[in-house]
Structures are given as C-alpha cells and as structure tokens.
Amino acid sequence: MDTPLDLEAWRLFVSTALAAHAVRCLGGRIAVESNAEDLLALARRLGEEMGSVERRYHLRFDPPYPGVTAGPEVVVGGCRLLLACTASDGDEPPLGVVFTTLIPGRLPQVSVAPVEASIPKEWRPATDAF
C-alpha cells in the first residue's frame, strides 16, 4: 500500500467483499427467530467456503475466517455474535482486524478495522462449544 488512503480503501473493499460472501453464504438476512446456537452454526458455515474468497483477493486470515468470539451476547430483543480475525494480503503487514457481526433479523455485517484494533486473547473459535 502506498498511502494511508490506499490502505483504508483496501479495507473498505475487503469488508464489502466479505459482507457479500456472508450474505450469499447465509442466504440473506439471518432468521429473526435465530438463537445463540443458530448464530454459532451460521458462523461455522461462514468459514466453510472461504477458499475461493482467499484466492480471488489474495487474502489470509488468522485465525481462519470468521475468527474467534467471546460467544453469543444477549441484547435487547435477542442475541448477537461478534467474531474477529486478522486479515493479511501477501507479504505486506496485516491489513487489519475483520469484525463480523451476526444479529437475527439483519444482514451479516463485516468491517475491517486498523490492525491496532485488538482481539481479546480469551476469545475462542466459533467451532468450540460455548
């Protein structure tokens, strides 16, 4: 990346590409009646078809996308699941931290924060039972 603006543009592009992947993979909006177990199952499904996305955009994720989580959180009217991983594109320093949010009744949301955003060390893979 040549400038901070180029890096930010790349983060925005990656977040859009990952959000589109999540919408395709999960079939659009997350079912309103989804519970915590359903959200964890959806998170596991997101990671199953990442090979083509990684190849197409020359990305690597650590841990594998969609990453680690503190587990489902209870919020007003239901629950949500926040996941995080670090994205890299080749030999460059990491691009940033990818945050994916799953909330019943909404489309999956993906954003890429600067690499300085930290992932809590106690978070675990979504594949682990909570």
For residue 93, the model assigns a pLDDT of 82
> Is 1's pLDDT higher than 60?
no
- Sign of the CA dihedral running 92, 93, 96, 98: positive
| Alpha carbon distance 72, 94 (integer Å) | 27
Query: One-letter amino acid identity for 89?
Result: D
Closest CA to 40 of 63, 61, 67: 67
Top-confidence residue, 25 or 76 = 25
- Mean pLDDT of all residues in 39-46: 94
